[in-house]
Amino acid sequence: MSAIYLRSVTSHARAVALGVLALSILFVFGMAVYRSIDMSILDQLPDDLLTVIGIGPKADVASLAYNAIFSTYGSLLLGGVAIAVGTGVVAGRERDGSIGLLLANPISRGRLVFESALALLTLYVVAAIVLFGVGLLTPQILDVSIEGLSIGGFVTQLVIGTLFYGFLALAVGAWTGKTQVAIGVSSSVLIVSFLAAGLLPLISGWEEFARLSPWYYINSGDPLRNGLDVGAVSILGGASALFVLVAWIGINRRDLQPRSVNIRILDRLRGNPLTAHLAERVAGRTLVSKIWIKTISQFQFLSLLVSIFMFGLMGLVMGPIYADMGTTMAQLADSYPPEMIAFFGGGDFGTAEGFFQIEIFGLVAPLAIMIVTIAIGAKSIAGEEKDHTLGLLLANPVSRSYVLTQKLIALFIWGFVVAFATFAGVALANLISNLGMDYLNILATCVHLMLLGYLFGGLAVLLGAAFGRVGLAVGVSAGAALAIQVINGMAEINNGWWKEFTPFYWYSGTDPLNNGLSVTGIVILSVATAIIIGSSYPLLKRRDLRG
């Protein structure tokens, strides 16, 4: 076997294994909780509605667990891991400067792309086998019937669907050489397609447009009950193969950078005679005078992309969509059991506040802000160590605490920008479509959102400071967020006492979109964030840093 293939498999195996392990634990926990649900509540829903929300007609405990955990959270988790792996193939190697060393050997660019793509495919084949085993064994242990369900076809279609986003990231990274562009574009496609697949079928005349969403084909044909949908798998597999070909063309058409150096906002200001003097005064004249400015510039593309996405697609556009779906929303409000709302973060389809809670603030907004804050937090210290630049910073007359504080300033600023963009988009949608929502309550919800982002971003900072590893900081922080969100949802369904011990309850459990700011929630989230971030300082001071 080729060294490239083996190296790619071994270097990314841990990330995929952690994702599969987290998903398996969530599935076991979810199925155990769903056993206590009165499934008669699903009889109130029409079959077409069940299909739209991804549960499927004639749902039982087993199918509910498979669709709620694997199809929703599992697809997001596996898709995110695939994006991270795909981004690292070309763009990641250019960013850390290893691609020049690799290609100095008798290895072609095309071979690098194809063998890395094969490695990703291999890892996800193994993941599918493990999830298939978990999907079969868990119902046996919990004494849940899976008669008539096609677990193999369901898991296969799920894994092929999530691979689509990894190969998309590979193609974008090969053409641009920029990790933030690859992650930003592929993550945006993932989130938009997730929403489009669930939302477009509810809009009269737009049902067929849902077929343009890659996410649509993950559950196309109801593979859990009907087996593998060959047509859907062919579309997803064909698109993935096309992305690999596009990546091969992209990497062969341009000069590769031995180490990625992005043009920052500050650099552009310095290059313009009209703003050069101001930029120099803001940035200072020494290397470490304004580390927070450098960090803000470093994450400009990802943060601005997420902010524009939340302002436009998740804010501004949603107002007219809700206004045009009045009768459909009323029907959903009448037929949707309150217990099932927990799957989507709470809310009520019959009101504008409930619609925005379900479609935006329940899942998408936390995911969006944590993409930014966790990325910045994980790379604050661990990223500098990985890039071998932390030693250069600390060779100047600055302390470790000073560097960490400067990094945190950038995290707080970009977290605020994403939250404010969300507020501005929803508020403008409210104004244009005359939805009647309270602007102060929208602001309160976005304050809660900002603090939630700070909490998990702070966790990434702590892990990076303690261990100096970007992958571990990102994986544990994102995995913890996903697990806690699912646990909170389960608690809402069963009215579990533990829900008040989860940060997601204090983010949205008090329903700030209807009830306004929760002082208790603000205090709890703030104190928890302060404790986590405060713990980062002694952990960073006591550790030997990697050169």
What is the per-residue pLDDT across 113-141, written as a single tens digit (0 to 9) for each?
A: 999 999 999 999 999 999 999 999 998 88
For the segment 520-532, the average pLDDT, to the nearest whole number, is: 94
**Domain residue extents for the chain:** 1-261
For the segment 395-412, the average pLDDT, to the nearest whole number, is: 87
Give the number of other Cβ atoms within 10 Å of residue 448's Cβ: 27
Q: For residue 18, give Cα distances in angstroms to 134, 370, 533.
A: 14, 19, 24
User: For residue 536, with 0-12 CB atoms within 10 Å meaning exposed, 13-18 middle and 19 or more buried, which class applies?
Assistant: buried
Distance from C-alpha of 388 to C-alpha of 375, rounded to nearest angstrom:
18
pLDDT of residue 287: 44
Tens digits of residue pLDDT in 459-487? 999 999 888 888 888 888 888 888 788 77
Distance from C-alpha of 425 to C-alpha of 107, rounded to nearest angstrom:
48
pLDDT of residue 272: 62
Tens digits of residue pLDDT in 185-218? 898 888 888 878 877 776 667 778 888 889 889 8
The two tokens of residue 199 are 């939302």
The two tokens of residue 72 are 């929703």
Task: Provide DSSP, 159-220.
Answer: HHHHHHHHHHHHHHHHHH--HHHHHHHHHHHHHHHHHHHHHGGGSTT-GGGGGGSGGGGGST
User: For residue 249, with 0-12 CB atoms within 10 Å meaning exposed, 13-18 middle and 19 or more buried, which class applies?
Assistant: middle
Instruction: Kindly indicate the confidence band of residue 177, based on its pLDDT and cuts at 50, 70 and 90.
Output: confident
Give the number of other Cβ atoms within 10 Å of residue 430's Cβ: 22
Tens digits of residue pLDDT in 49-60? 555 455 555 556
DSSP 419: H
Tens digits of residue pLDDT in 247-298? 999 988 887 776 554 455 555 655 666 666 665 554 444 444 578 888 888 8
Distance from C-alpha of 202 to C-alpha of 62, rounded to nearest angstrom:
26
User: Sign of the CA dihedral 525, 527, 531, 533?
Assistant: positive
Distance from C-alpha of 124 to C-alpha of 129, rounded to nearest angstrom:
9
Question: Does the pLDDT of residue 519 top 50, yes or no?
Answer: yes
pLDDT of residue 70: 84
Instruction: Kindly indicate the confidence band of residue 37, based on its pLDDT and cuts at 50, 70 and 90.
Output: low
Long-range contacts formed by 439-443: CB under 8 A, 24+ apart: 440/516, 440/517, 441/353, 441/512, 441/513, 441/514, 441/515, 441/516, 442/513
Residues 244, 222 contacting (CB under 8 angstroms):
no
Question: Does the pLDDT of residue 172 top 90, yes or no?
Answer: yes
Distance from C-alpha of 502 to C-alpha of 500, rounded to nearest angstrom:
6
Mean pLDDT of the chain: 81
pLDDT of residue 45: 52
Which of these ranges, 64-78, 221-235, 252-266, has the smallest mean pLDDT? Answer: 252-266
Distance from C-alpha of 88 to C-alpha of 111, rounded to nearest angstrom:
15
The two tokens of residue 67 are 């669709």
